[in-house]
Amino acid sequence: MQNRAETGLKLTLVRMLFSKKKKSLFGNYSRILLLGLNSWLSLSEVALSQSLDLKWAAFQEEARAIVRPLQVPGGVMGLMVGDSLVALSAWGWANIARQIPMRPDHLFPIASISKTFAAVRALQLVAEGKLSLQTPARQYLPGYGLPDTVRIHHLFHQTSEGKPGHFLLMAPDLDG
């Protein structure tokens, strides 16, 4: 158990981008490799401030070594201490063909992976007693024309009987 002088340091490789031109190891449809490389380190606050740069540099190199065999052309990673983003870096290419370098603020099309984030948060709200999976979805999505028979749980099971792509909003080309 950690005492108050210790801080949990979570290093997370938040996102990686596959090139549009290069076939990924996961098939033609994959462009994103989302890695959750979590390393929990317990450090005193003094040690944290003194060694953060060193540990961040070492983590970046380790993360790049892990993805190098996957031929990921570029990526962005961040370091969070508690709820604060304390470091952010980018490397490689956002678009190889156009020679557009990756930037720390690069936007990634994460597509259906956002369903996972929404489901986890919704289930947290269920656990807190703030949401029921039996609630009609239109209570939270007014204006979408959903019938009362479509419940929150239908959205997670993808059985809401909507038209495929009907609610899909696409951003313009995110590669620049």
Band of residue 160 on the pLDDT scale cut at 50, 70, 90: low
pLDDT tens track for 13-40: 333 333 333 433 333 333 333 333 333 3
Model pLDDT, residue 58 = 86
Model pLDDT, residue 60 = 87
Residue 157 sits at the vertex; the CA angle it makes with 141 and 30, to the nearest 5 degrees, is 95
- Provide CB contacts within 8 A for 85, sequence distance 6+: 78, 79
Within 13 A of 25's CA, how many CA atoms are on the CB side? Answer: 9
Q: Specify the DSSP element, H or E, that contains 58.
A: helix 45-67
| For residues 91-107, average pLDDT | 91
Phi and psi at 92, nearest 5°, equal: 75, -150
Distance, in Å, from the CA atom of 109 to the CA atom of 91, rounded to the nearest integer, reads 18
Band of residue 71 on the pLDDT scale cut at 50, 70, 90: confident
Residue 15 vs residue 114, higher pLDDT: 114
Phi and psi at 74, nearest 5°, equal: -175, 165
| For residues 119-132, average pLDDT | 93
High-pLDDT (> 70) share of the chain, %? 61
pLDDT tens track for 42-57: 344 545 555 777 888 8
Distance, in Å, from the CA atom of 129 to the CA atom of 155, rounded to the nearest integer, reads 19
- Are the beta carbons of 157 and 137 closer than 8 angstroms? no
Of the listed ranges 46-60, 80-94, 108-122, 139-153, the least confidently predicted one is 46-60
Domain definitions of the chain by residue range: 6-108, 109-176
| For residues 114-127, average pLDDT | 89
Of the listed ranges 3-17, 88-102, 158-172, the least confidently predicted one is 3-17
| For residues 144-154, average pLDDT | 85
Distance, in Å, from the CA atom of 41 to the CA atom of 62, rounded to the nearest integer, reads 15
pTM: 0.47
- Are the beta carbons of 107 and 171 closer than 8 angstroms? yes
State the DSSP code for 23.
Answer: P
